[in-house]
Amino acid sequence: MRPPRLSPATDVRRLIANLDLSVDGVTENPAGWMPVRHPDADAFVQDVMRHTDTLLLGRTTYEHLAAHWPTQPPGSSWIADFVNGTPRAVVSRTLKEPAWVGTTVLPDLEGVAALKQQDGGHIVTLGSVTLLGALAGAGLIDEYQLWLHPLLHGGGHPLFPTDLKQSLTLLEARSFPDGLLLLRYAPQGGTP
């Protein structure tokens, strides 16, 4: 069953769903199969992150990230500095006391809608496929940034719930020399 559709105001922070996937739609464990991005793709990601001040995660993704990133020394990479230095919000009913400093727990999607109403920069998801399905069903995603990697993974779960239907408007399709594609979409009627 999908969550109820929420009606966020029009003058709110943008929630961007950023996700890596294979040509056959697999998003699970991209660290196990995802090649290093082309430097031009990295530059695009860094530009988006400069305008981002909150990471939004599901509990499982949070647990994976919390087991790795806090152990990375400052200055070891731009992504380590970004992930460790950016406040995180985790949507979870079971996580009560997050150990990773700078993490807030939101018990439900109403908490996400309230977060969007606050002043600030972009809110960006990393991974969190189950959460993305709920956010899409509730109409909370303003933009999808899908990184399509030129490979077949050969298994895994679908990107979104099979009962989710949503028309999208293509904002940008960009290819990189290594075959990677960036596909940016907005829900029809959403913020371009």
| CATH number, domain containing residue 130 | 3.40.430.10
* Three-class DSSP category at 120: coil
Residue 119, sorted as left (phi over 0), alpha (psi -120 to 50) or beta, turns out to be beta
Is 123 part of a structural domain of the chain? yes
Is 117 part of a structural domain of the chain? yes
Is 134 part of a structural domain of the chain? yes
Using a cut of 0.85, tell me whether the model's pTM lies above it.
Answer: yes
Is 62 part of a structural domain of the chain? yes
Is 192 part of a structural domain of the chain? no
Is 39 part of a structural domain of the chain? yes
Is 16 part of a structural domain of the chain? no
Q: What is the pLDDT of residue 32?
A: 62
Is 144 part of a structural domain of the chain? yes
Report helix angle 129-137 to 109-117, nearest 10: 70
CA distances from 96 to 69, 74, 107, 163 (A): 20, 27, 9, 30
The range of the structural domain enclosing residue 35 comes to 22-178
Give the number of domains in the chain.
1
β-strand 88-91 against 52-58: which pairing, if any? parallel
List per-residue pLDDT tens for the chain, 192 residues long.
333 334 444 456 999 999 888 888 888 765 565 667 788 888 888 888 999 999 999 999 999 999 999 999 999 988 899 999 999 999 999 999 999 999 999 999 999 999 999 999 999 998 888 899 999 999 999 999 999 989 887 777 777 767 788 899 999 999 999 899 999 999 996 554
